[in-house]
Structure 1
């Protein structure tokens, strides 16, 4: 087996492992291994092959890490409408007790709590956050 084929098989293994990991970092290392295969095809020795694979892999990894794809977004999922379909929905509260209420929403009873700036008066409120089985609301 030629050197280039060994590099390409190793790159292929990393691409398959990448499919299971869900990050792009193994793909960047596979790119480095592909660079090693190109160096082998060009007829360079083992030292140049290793150096090109390492250099391309490290540079690709650094570029990925500095890009927007290299960082996971860890926002507050309790307030994220993309993560929770209840955020932004409206509900009606008939009466409040010390900033808390119990209302029927989506066929179940929920505890409702006033968010910052909301006033405890009967009416329609907008859900701004979900904390377990509590809905935090603001004025609609």
Structure 2
């Protein structure tokens, strides 16, 4: 069996394995193996074939990882409006208490209940604020 056929058979096996996993990462590795088969068709040395297969597979995997279809890290739900409907909503704060170091706290009515509200890195003046984060029963707000 020729070298390019071996590369092609291995690439095919990796594609079959990819069908069982449901990710595209093994597909990217099989693209690298196919590049090794192409290098074998051009009768490059075995070490050159392996280097080409490794480089193409690695670059394809990195490209997939950085695309919108790649791995997504765990996103903090405290800031995610898709998880918490309060993010982005507004509320009225009448009186702020200065806690020092640029931190202000208050109690404010929101959705029919009193909530602890925290404002950081801004002066606390009465007015409308936007909810930026929810930490337990505390709303972290920013000026609107």
TM-score bracket for the superposition, by shorter chain length: 0.5 to 0.7
Q: How many Å apart are 1:91 and its aligned residue?
A: 1.5
Q: Distance in 2 between matches of 1:26 and 1:108?
A: 51
Equivalenced residues, count = 132
Which 10-residue stretch deviates more, 11-20 or 126-135? Answer: 11-20
Asked whether the 8 Å contact 1:14–1:29 carries over to 2, the reply is no
If each structure's strand is expressed as a fraction of its own residues, which one has the higher value?
Answer: 2
Q: How many Å apart are 1:135 and its aligned residue?
A: 0.7
Match of 1:116 in 2: 121
Q: How many Å apart are 1:136 and its aligned residue?
A: 1.2
Deviations 1:66-119 (A, max 9, x none): x843786788764455665433210134555662215333x6653222233242
| TM-score, normalising length: structure 2 | 0.57
Q: Distance in 2 between matches of 1:35 and 1:80?
A: 41
Match of 2:135 in 1: 131
| TM-score, normalising length: structure 1 | 0.58
Q: How many Å apart are 1:32 and its aligned residue?
A: 0.8
Q: Could you list the runs of 5+ residues in structure 2 that have no partner in the other structure?
A: 99-104
Following superposition, which runs of at least 4 residues in structure 1 exceed 6 angstroms of deviation? Answer: 73-76
Q: Could you list the runs of 5+ residues in structure 1 that have no partner in the other structure?
A: none
Describe the shift of the 1:117–1:56 C-alpha distance in structure 2 as closer, same or farther (beyond 3 A): closer
Cα root mean square deviation, aligned: 4.2
Deviations 1:41-66 (A, max 9, x none): x38599365454234223434x538x
